[in-house]
Every structure is written in structure tokens, then in C-alpha cells.
Structure 1
Amino acid sequence: MSTLTARGRRTDVTRLLPRGLLIGIIAVLLVFVLVPVVYILLASVNSDIGVASGDFWPSAFTLTNYSKIWTTVALGRGLANSIVVAGSVAVVCAFVAVATAYVLVRFDFRGRLTFLRGLLALQSIPGTLLLLPVFVLFSSFATATGVQVVGTRWGLFITYLTFALPFSTWVMVTYLRGLPRELEEAARIDGASSWRILTRIVVPLSWPGIVVSGIFAFLLGWNDVLFASIMTTPNTRTAAVALEVFGATQEGGALPVYGQMMAAALVCAVPVVVLYLIFQRYLVGGLTAGGVK
């Protein structure tokens, strides 16, 4: 009994806010987060007239919006393009980042600190400032070589990979610093090469960091509208651009199809939610890596 009392006292001492105030703040935050989500969900099963008139609760539930979006918004092609581009960026970025971070953490060479500082400096540059330079660079490359980059999926892949790699590499640098060197030294004594140590020891132990790096890169490609709207054509549009174009075409209309817009937004959010549910057990360990030394 005394142990439980002492444990409760330690919890009360370390708690920043009183229990009642903490519950109240969490409840307010949940309301701010959940009310818009519930409204989108209800609007997606409501008629366009009901949504336009401001009805929060549908007078009649219908799933026709979910069947219409595949032809009205052309959402199927956009989702396919987003999955291909964002998925490939996530996979390539995660494993390039872990290999780069391994070299930066475990080997001493001239310029290593400069490279690490450069990774931090790249994070301070807004992506909007690089939109025009990237477009001009890709256009000049197409003019010089005859290889089209703008309007292709692989051009968008290179763009997202460029922006995602610095952050992903820094995440992996922070994570690998916490891994014990003794395992690698024992493997090297047994004759293992650096590549074998990386693939057989470092990568299996670094899954939380790899997952965080991959999810960050995936979300960058999935949510981006600015670069995707400039670097794609109607055949290579991502889901985010398809939603933007669909919303813009509804402005000024007699009766905007708000129900279909809400349904399309929910469908586009499903892959991200599923990704989080699958890898949530890795996220905490990857995000907090390096916090305690």
C-alpha cells in the first residue's frame, strides 16, 4: 500500500498540470481535432444540397459520393501516381539515409562535420524558394539531353528525394549514434566487411529510425501540391493535385459537389492512416532516438 502511495506521489510531483486541468485541456484538444473529422465523414455520406445548406447531420445517408469520385475526380489515377511516387521515395530515401548515416557516424574523414552541418542548413531553406530553380534545371536538362523530366513520375521522384534525404539522413545519424559499437567491432573481428555489417547488423537494429525516415519521405510526396502541380501533366497528377483541380473547378458553380469532395478527401487520407497503424510501434522509438544518452 505504501509503495502504491509513494508511486502516486511521484506521479503527482512530475505532472506539470493538475489532473483536472490536464483532462480539460485534452478534452478541448480532442474536440478541435475530432469535430472537423466527424463533419467531413458525415458530409461524405450526405447529399450535395444538404452539405451546401449547412446540415451537420445528414437527413438521409448515401454512399453515392464514394462511387462517383472515381469518375468525377479521376481519383484512381491520382492515387496510383501518389502511391508509386511517394512509395518509391520512401523506400529509396530510407535505405540511402541509413547507408549515408552509417558512413557519417562510424567513419572519420575530412569534411564530415561540414556535411553534417550542411544537412541542418538545408532544412532551413523553404521549398517554395527552390520551385523555380528546380523547374529551370529540369527544363535545361531536357533541352540539353532530349530526356524529358518535367511531367514525368521519375522527375517528381527525384524532386521529392532531394528534399527528403537531408532530414531522413539526420534522423538516422541521431539513431545510429545510440547503437553500441561493440556489435560491429565483434563482427569486424570475425572478418565481416563494412557492407556486411551494414546489411546484417545495422539495418536490422535500425528499423525504428528507418520507418520514421520512410514515413516522413512518404508524407512529403503524398501531401505535396506545389511541386506536383508544376512538375506533372494530367496523366501523372498525384491525388493531392487531383483534389486541388477538382476543388478549383467547383468554385462559382451553381451547386458545388461538396459531398464528393469530402469523400475524396477521406479516401486520400486512408493510406496515411493505414501506414500509421501498421508502423506505429516503430514511430515512438524512432522519433525519440538520441533523446537520452
Structure 2
Amino acid sequence: MSASSEAHRLLPRPLLVTVTVILCAMVLVPVLYILLASLNSDLGVASGEFWPGSFSVESYGRIWTTADLANGLVNSILVCALVAVASAVLGTMTAYVLVRHTFTGRLTILRGLVGLQSIPGTLMLLPVFVLFSSAGNYLGVTVVGTRWGLFLAYLTFALPFSTWVMVTYLRGLPRELEEAGRVDGASTPRILVRIIMPLSLPAIVVSGIFAFLLGWNDVLFASVLTRPGTRTAAVALSAFGSTQEGGALPVYSQVMAAALVSAAPVVLLYLVFQRYLVGGLTAGGVK
């Protein structure tokens, strides 16, 4: 039975259409308001206009100086891209060892990967900050306020999830492919690079995108572990919005424009990797 026929069987068609319209409206109406507000003037948005009296892209030009968005976007892209690549690669290698080899503590590690997902990140903020500060004092290495310190923090939280995604996916890959490679004289690293990774590309993309989003959407850790020169786009946007509160004329139009510009890289990422993302999310459930 197809997915559409299954949905029609569970819900009557009029109710299904109504629910679909309501869910789409809940997502699209706020996005439409943000878009229209970014094309409006600050005065028009402050007065409560939904439809701009005159369309203007002036806010998109101002945010690069008022919100310091360019520096934040560069920092976010660098840190989050490195986290995505590192977590995807390390997660694949770790998952391959956990799936294909049996050793003492294997089940404990697998259970720990699941258990780590239940720990709220807010509880880890103070321990991570103290650990990074202590590393700077005892090792003479500056961690807090640097991009690579933020990279280590994000990788710590992204790697368990990426590893578990790859464990779920690799369990469905047939061992015969690896055995054929070994018959041809391929070593374990060569099998991993030439056979496992190409076949696991959808799952690798999924783990990488979720790792990217973990860093891109974070405000808490980035606010504590960065300084003005290394803060991310989320922190820059949050600081820009908070500094405008209580002003004579809040620059709501510029805040909306900055929010759309900050969301653009994520939307582009989904559009580019949409095919792999859908395949990776569904493959684990099917297998």
C-alpha cells in the first residue's frame, strides 16, 4: 500500500486537506511575514504594517555594518563546516569498528552513544567552559575565545549522534562486498574509503548536515566560548536584536533581513543535498 493511500485510509480526504493546509500555514505565514517585514521600512514594521507601503531592499544593505553579520557568517561557516566533515568522517570510522568487530566494551559504547543523546547541552555548558579554561591555564594554550575551541565543543556533541546514525546504516550493508574486496587484496582502510564510504554517502550526508545545524543554531555555547572577533552568526544576530530593544525606533526591518540572510546558507545546504538527505533518513528505517 502506498503512503498516499495509507494516509487516506487513516484520515478522510477533507480532514487530510484541512490538516495539511493548517500545517503549511503555520510554517509559511511566519516566513512570509519575515520576508515582507525585511522589504518594509523600520517605521512601517514598528507601526504594525503587514503589507509594506513601499518595497525596499535597503535593510539588506545596512545589516552588514549595523549587525556585523559578515564576520559572524564567516565564523559560522568555517566552524560548522569543519564540524560536519570531522563528525561524518570520524563517525563513519567509529561505526565501522563497532559494527564489523567484536571486542570487550562494544555494547557499553553503543549504549553510551544512545545515553549521551539524553543529556541536555545546557548542563554541559559550565563543565565545558571550566575544562577549556583550565586547559588554557595549565597547558598555556588559548581555547576560550577561539574558533577551534568552539569546534571542539560542537564536535563533542555532534560525534555521538553521527556515530549512531552510521551504526544504524552500516548494519544494513552486506558483508559480502567487503569480503570481495579482501579477496582482491584490499586492506581495511582501502575497503573503508573505496567501498563503505561511497555506499554510505546518504547516511554520511545526514550526519554531516545535522552536525552542521547543531553548530549553526547554537547560541548558548557560542556566547560563552567566543569573543567579538570569533562569534558566530547566531550570536551576532542575537546581540543585534537585543541592542535594539528599548530604542527610539527599533530596526525591526533590519533584524528580519539579518534573520533571512542567516538562514540562507542552511536552506541552500538542504537544496543541494536534498536527494542524499531523503535517502539517508529513510534508509535507516527501512533497513
TM-score scaled by length of structure 2: 0.97
The count of aligned residue pairs is: 286
Matches within 5 A, 1:120-159: 120-159=114-153
SS in 1 for 2:264: helix
SS in 1 for 2:273: helix
Check if 1:89 corresponds to 2:83: yes
- Percent identity, aligned pairs only? 71
Task: Name the counterpart of 2:35.
Answer: 41
- Show structure 1 runs of 5+ residues with no match: 1-6
Choose from 61, 66, 79 the match for 2:60: 66
Check if 1:27 corresponds to 2:24: no
> CA–CA distance in 1 between the matches of 2:6 and 2:86?
46
Choose from 161, 174, 177 the match for 1:180: 174
Matches within 5 A, 1:205-224: 205-224=199-218
SS in 2 for 1:262: helix
Q: After alignment, is 15-24 or 262-271 more displaced?
A: 15-24
Check if 1:289 corresponds to 2:277: no
SS in 1 for 2:214: helix
> CA–CA distance in 2 between the matches of 1:168 and 1:101?
9
TM-score scaled by length of structure 1: 0.95
Q: In the alignment, residue 261 of structure 1 is paired with which amino acid? A: V
Choose from 210, 235, 238 the match for 1:241: 235
Task: Name the counterpart of 2:154.
Answer: 160
> CA–CA distance in 2 between the matches of 1:64 and 1:140?
46
> Is the 2:144–2:226 Cα contact (8 Å) retained in structure 1?
yes
SS in 1 for 2:283: coil
Check if 1:109 corresponds to 2:122: no
- Show structure 2 runs of 5+ residues with no match: none
Runs of 4+ with deviation above 6 angstroms = none
Task: Name the counterpart of 1:260.
Answer: 254
> CA–CA distance in 2 between the matches of 1:12 and 1:285?
21
Q: In the alignment, residue 178 of structure 1 is paired with which amino acid? A: G
> Is the 2:62–2:254 Cα contact (8 Å) retained in structure 1?
yes
Check if 1:201 corresponds to 2:195: yes
> Is the 1:73–1:242 Cα contact (8 Å) retained in structure 2?
yes
> CA–CA distance in 1 between the matches of 2:107 and 2:183?
28
Q: Alpha-carbon deviation of 1:36? A: 0.3
Q: Once the two structures are superposed, what CA deviation does each residue of 1:134-187 show, in whole Å capped at 9, x if it has no partner?
A: 000010110001110000000000000000000110000000111111100111
> CA–CA distance in 1 between the matches of 2:188 and 2:8?
44
Q: Alpha-carbon deviation of 1:288? A: 2.1
Q: Alpha-carbon deviation of 1:12? A: 6.2
> CA–CA distance in 2 between the matches of 1:108 and 1:185?
17
Q: Alpha-carbon deviation of 1:290? A: 2.9
Q: Once the two structures are superposed, what CA deviation does each residue of 1:86-119 show, in whole Å capped at 9, x if it has no partner?
A: 0110011111111110111011111111100010
> Is the 2:45–2:253 Cα contact (8 Å) retained in structure 1?
yes
Check if 1:15 corresponds to 2:2: no
> CA–CA distance in 2 between the matches of 1:162 and 1:210?
17
> CA–CA distance in 1 between the matches of 2:101 and 2:150?
33
Q: Once the two structures are superposed, what CA deviation does each residue of 1:254-276 show, in whole Å capped at 9, x if it has no partner?
A: 11000000000000000000000
RMSD, matched Cα:
1.4
Q: Alpha-carbon deviation of 1:20? A: 1.5
Q: In the alignment, residue 154 of structure 1 is paired with which amino acid? A: W
Q: After alignment, is 13-22 or 67-76 more displaced?
A: 13-22
